[in-house]
Structure 1
């Protein structure tokens, strides 16, 4: 929802969202509260009535990302002209390039040998004298080095990839484009007729390939691999506005930075932080025998690594689960030592306390939950 009107509220400071006139403060406060409660942003920042040096002509919207190029120009009356553009069909934003590893072409044998050698070197370097963080950084760096050496990689492209457009269809498209260039150059009915016939043929081929992909590839994979379905849905979106405008107690958050800060502040506010003075409740004598000292075995660690889902995304450490699964036997001894050290000392590697979080809007209240205050989050907007 968007609106452009002369609201006649001259005594509002839009930088602080407050009233500058005590006589009209009540009316202004009601108006500002109305905007906040309905997540409406006000986008005019320059004076629109020079006589009174005030901003009277406002643009209020629930989606400020579709409004651009707001300009205030001299008008034919005592009000200036406010112009702006509304993007009714926002262009889908391309993702920044990222490194993609091709494990299908990996040198698995040398990869495993490299990880095995790194593991032996790690265990022989007296890791018990190092901290948990130092040991994890060594293991992580060794894995990254081995992956870069033996797994081919490339930088992703920002272009939109349509999986049903096969190489054969791309060749037909190139021929269609050549026929179009020829028809424009020759400017005769025969060339244009040939181009239109081939253009319709290519359009029909693409349409059939799309239907076949949706029915046979996406449809047949819903029960076993829903990832293809959600990738298709995400790819077919015509907009990518992300998280809408967020409202806090003091301001409206329209930029990605403000939204991430607001979400981070909210999640921190609902987490409970236990103090040293909190007493642990006494449950009395347990009727069950005490648990003996926990010993983590290499076989158990290898089993857990081998059962990882290779299609899951990596976390802040940028280590793909597929790599961990591929080198599970070679990596298990090093991780087994790290897990045992972490359990014995009660210290978790700092990087394991970080997470990539994508905010998803839901019309529900977030209930409080307990979490250690040293956990950190990076919001992906």
Structure 2
């Protein structure tokens, strides 16, 4: 934690000396995002995880039995022994029964009356039942075939959207949009204290935004990141940097 605070405090000072109000927004945001990701990679341990046990109802017992079953299968295949084969069949049955017990227990818990106070488990289970965890489901093209690769799905959607718009539409029939009856919005004053307050009030249980930056990181180091805000005090940039507050931005 101390190393992360030191790195981010140093970055805020360098950021203000490197950028000003005339700098490009894309360059400023790229510098902030790069530093945050670099700090995470440097100071936060990480490990590769397998999608083998990604179902929410799989518990420790199921994982242990599954690993034992896998080792037993390899041994039975190598030795071709009837005893090892029988042992593998026993573990296979035990694993199947453990999976059923874990699944039934999980379902009972999420549909119980107490689940209303903590609906996160329920929606986690619903998400696990989706066809795809992320992205768009397989689509059927005009030739009647179904495609699942990203490029083809993008082309199918593009063709669909293009078919419902007419590039030769007569624009003279569109009514002119009158000027709004409201007075122009005054400039927004952005201060270090205000930005720090917004970052410190983030809900760490909410998902990250489209930039992928963790809300826990922004909240934990709000005092170190906030000093860089006066260097980029333009409303349209601030909406990009601090949209995670969940509050409506004008």
Q: Which residue of 1 aligns with 2:3?
A: 110
Corresponding residue for residue 27 of structure 2:
134
Three-state SS of the structure 2 residue aligned to 1:110 is helix
| 2:215 equivalent to 1:215 | no
- Is structure 2 residue 86 aligned with structure 1 residue 187? no
Give how far 1:118 is off. Answer: 0.6
CA RMSD of aligned residues (A): 4.2
Change in Cα spacing, 1:219 to 1:297, as seen in structure 2 (3 Å) is farther
Higher relative contact order (CA 8 A, sep 6+): 2
In structure 1, the partner of 2:218 is: 324
Corresponding position: 1:124 with 2:23: no
Q: Is the 8 A contact 1:298 1:333 kept in 2?
A: yes
1:236 to 129, 142, 146: 129
Structure 1 residue aligned with 2:45: 152
- In our comparison, the structure showing a higher alpha carbon Rg is 1
Aligned length: 222
- Structure 1 counterpart SS, 2:137: coil
User: How far apart in 2 are the matches of 1:264 and 1:219?
Assistant: 43
Match of 1:300 in 2: 194
2:54 pairs with 1:161 = yes
More helix, by proportion? 2
Q: Using the alignment, how far apart are the partners of 1:125 and 1:320 within structure 2?
A: 25
Greater fraction of residues in strand: 1
Tell whether the 8 Å contact from 2:69 to 2:91 is kept in structure 1 after alignment: yes
Q: Distance in 1 between matches of 2:43 and 2:179?
A: 51
Q: Deviations over 1:6-46 (max 9, x none)?
A: xxxxxxxxxxxxxxxxxxxxxxxxxxxxxxxxxxxxxxxxx
Following the alignment from structure 1 to structure 2, what is the Cα–Cα distance between the partners of residues 267 and 123?
Answer: 48
Whether contact under 8 Å (2:65, 2:95) holds in the other structure is: yes
Gapped regions of structure 1 (runs ≥ 5): 1-107, 270-276, 354-381
TM-score (norm 2): 0.65
TM-score, normalising length from structure 1? 0.46
CA shift digits 1:120-165 (9 cap, x unpaired): 1212335234233333232222222222221223455454523443
Counterpart position of 1:280: 179
Distance 2:202 2:111 in 1: 24
